[in-house]
A and B are shown apart, each in its own frame.
Chain A
């Protein structure tokens, strides 16, 4: 067998989008030379602050908008290709559905439009309602649904035709902690089935828990793409030491050792850089007759990384 080059599930090449906005039709740059590759079978987190261009990029990948320059490919084909659309599931940001339809009617419609055979419609709708735990609301018109309920129907409609590539725009919006947990489980189960999941978010905890790789977009530019394990080395960045008790004159000495000291009631929380400093803090505390109640090593979080990327981008632009 000849070697098969596996094509990425999603690829964008120098994707650029300008649009005109406002009364004076000012040209706004939404995306600038965005290069992106999402491999088959991975969970890719598309991260960025509000207004970074995440939704614009997704709309082009879905075929709802055309790029000004560059192009997007999904499974090696243009987004508006019929075969591509059959294998893509999409959940828009804060989705709005036909409120006069019941949940079951709506899912039936989306399944039909996605080419699910007529005979399979009903069982598929039932299966999806069960998956998102909305069976109780199957025959209720959606006008009374809460944000969380709509979001559940949203994921159900995105998965109803068993797509290979699933694109979710801010899927965790409007969900409570239990809903988010269920949502994460659904996304992880998609990976187990070999599906590709591409989702945008500005909530970092979600990404940290489930993504294989992330791309960070700021101001329409991709500033970083990589494996989470590479971005977030397990290297300890700092150690937090909490000291309890009256310190008196020893307090100054402690603060000199620490990079940062925060007082809260009878606790003093110190951030130090390494084990040696921890030893020093413990020695001083012992001398003062105070207790060390906690020592917590801090690794670099995605948040730290994200904030530093956003900040350096803005500095480059001269906004800060």
Chain B
């Protein structure tokens, strides 16, 4: 089983590495981070924070783009191009296929994250900003956020086109970063139906705000590690659940 998941994952990884989109996104991310340097002369002492903040934001944004753009077509493309026939006609379970796709993409994202983080630290070094490993906590939490978002992308990819999947995943991403609004809506609305809807959506949609500690690390605020551990666990459970639902959908599918 692990051998087959590994086979599918390694192939997905190789496919993405040979994809120009990935290289373009990584390069652009590093260029954007370097762009923060232009503010250095005018930022009056705040430059360090701006460079750090922008760098971490760029890492998250571009990794999210990779997850959404590459992840959104990851399963659909195999179906559309019918390469899936060659895989599923072999002793590969559909569960193994979905997990292989997911882990392959995660490997791509972890690699991208590492390259971007290295680029980020290089820029910090060039800009003579004091290097601190404290910032890496934000990168780690981004990894958990990406794990969740990739599961969302794979989930959509099992039944809608890549473009629709990318759009839906982006929507989930944006709502996921403002789920507190849903809770406020539920608290404020006098209509019971809207109250209920707000609460249901609040608990159903992923709360991505949990993973965002960029501000805290940039300003050196002490981190609440138990809460971060819980957030990581939440991300993993949420991802796993979505992947299982994807497998159920996929299992019922005719090709």
Residues of A participating in the B interface, judged by any CB pair closer than 8 Å: 19, 59, 62-66, 82, 85-86, 88, 90, 92, 95-98, 100-101, 105, 109-110, 112-115, 157, 161
Contact = CB atoms under 8 A, between A and B. Distances in A.
Given A100-B14, A112-B7, A95 B91 contact: no
B255 A95 contact: no
B255 A113 contact: no
B180 interface: no
B11 A98 contact: yes
Central interface residue in B85, B90, B91, B254, by most chain A CB within 10 Å: B90
Interface of B: 3-4, 7-8, 10-11, 14-15, 18-19, 81-83, 85-93, 254-255
A113 B8 contact: yes
Contacts of B87: 113
* Chain B contact surface mostly: helix
Contacts of A92: 82, 85-86, 89
Contacts of B255: 59, 64-65
A101 B210 CA distance: 39
B90 A113 contact: yes
**10 smallest A-B Cβ distances: which pairs?**
A65-B254, A90-B89, A85-B91, A64-B255, A100-B18, A92-B85, A112-B7, A113-B90, A114-B90, A86-B91
A296 to B, nearest CB: 44
A283 B11 CA distance: 75
Contact of A109 (B7, B18, B81, B89): B7
B90 to A, nearest CB: 5
Given A90-B85, A100-B15, A109-B7, A85 B254 contact: no
B82 A113 contact: no
Contacts of A157: 86
Contacts of A105: 14
Contacts, number: 70
Contacts of B92: 85, 113
A95 B8 contact: no
Among B86, B88, B255, chain A packs the most CB atoms within 10 A around the CB of B86
Nearest to A17: B254
Contacts of A88: 89
A281 to B, nearest CB: 55
Contact of B7 (A19, A113, A161): A113
Contacts of B254: 19, 59, 64-66
A115 B10 CA distance: 16
Nearest to B88: A64
Contacts of A101: 11, 14-15
Nearest to A154: B86
Given A88-B89, A105-B14, 10 more contacts: A59-B254, A63-B88, A64-B254, A64-B255, A82-B91, A85-B91, A95-B85, A109-B10, A109-B11, A113-B7
B89 A62 contact: yes
A269 to B, nearest CB: 46
A125 to B, nearest CB: 14
12 contacts: A64-B88, A64-B254, A85-B91, A92-B86, A95-B85, A109-B7, A109-B11, A112-B3, A112-B4, A113-B4, A113-B87, A114-B90
A66 B255 CA distance: 9
A110 B89 CA distance: 10
A62 B89 CA distance: 6
Contacts of A62: 85, 89
A113 B83 CA distance: 13
Contacts of B81: 96
Contacts of A90: 85-86, 89
Nearest to B89: A90
A133 B101 CA distance: 32
Contacts of A85: 89-92
B90 A110 contact: yes
Contacts of B11: 98, 101, 109
Contacts of B86: 90, 92, 95, 97, 110, 157
